[in-house]
Amino acid sequence: MTAQSDAQEWYDLFLLSSVLFPKARMGLRIFEPRYVDMVSRAMRSGRPFGICLAEAEAAPAPVGTLATIVDWNSENGLLLLEIEGSRRFSVQEWQHANDITVARIHLWPEEPALPLAFEHEWLKPILQQIIEDPAAPELDASRAGMILAQALPVRSAEKLQLLLLQDPLERLRRIASLLRKKGVE
């Protein structure tokens, strides 16, 4: 399927109070029947669904990330998911359908695979802790920035600003600045 045909399709959206980044993972605890149904459809079809930050009056943020389910379990009536972000998208049009928000989206192009700049070498130990693998392969600037942004302890509005950036080196500069403000170096 091409990006052009994807842009003409409607995707289910999961509106959250947090942001999902491409190449990063997030855990979800699902208990509402409408979302259990939505996720069940996604698992059966293998089709991703969108994750968007919920804005005022249950409107999705203008940008989100497609999510795929990488692991799941159930516990005490909850559906526990681990999802991974794939591609960012712009919401072209949205509506509520059968208690689920759906959107026609436009997929963004993949970011270039640029090497980490020397100024960001100090972020590598933090990345290794996040991905819990000291022998992790070298990460390009885009993947490193997305994983770091997902783990940042900042407000969702700040994360959304990082998601909107299309320059991976600029994202890393902003993340480094945020970490320095929090006293991490």
Lowest-pLDDT range, 3-7, 75-79, 100-104?
Answer: 3-7
If asked whether residues 136 and 53 sit together in one domain, one would say no
d(CA 20, CA 87): 10
d(CA 105, CA 113): 24
The residue among 107, 133, 157 that closes a domain is: 107
Total domains in the fold of the chain = 2
CA 57 from chain centre, in angstroms, equals 22
* Mean pLDDT of all residues in 73-79: 89
The residue among 48, 74, 107 that closes a domain is: 107
pLDDT tens sequence across 110-120: 999 899 888 98
pTM: 0.88
Q: Which residues contact 57 (CB under 8 A, 6 or more apart)?
A: none
Residue 63: CB atoms within 10 A of its CB come to 18
If asked whether residues 14 and 102 sit together in one domain, one would say yes
pLDDT band at 175 (very low <50, low <70, confident <90, very high): very high
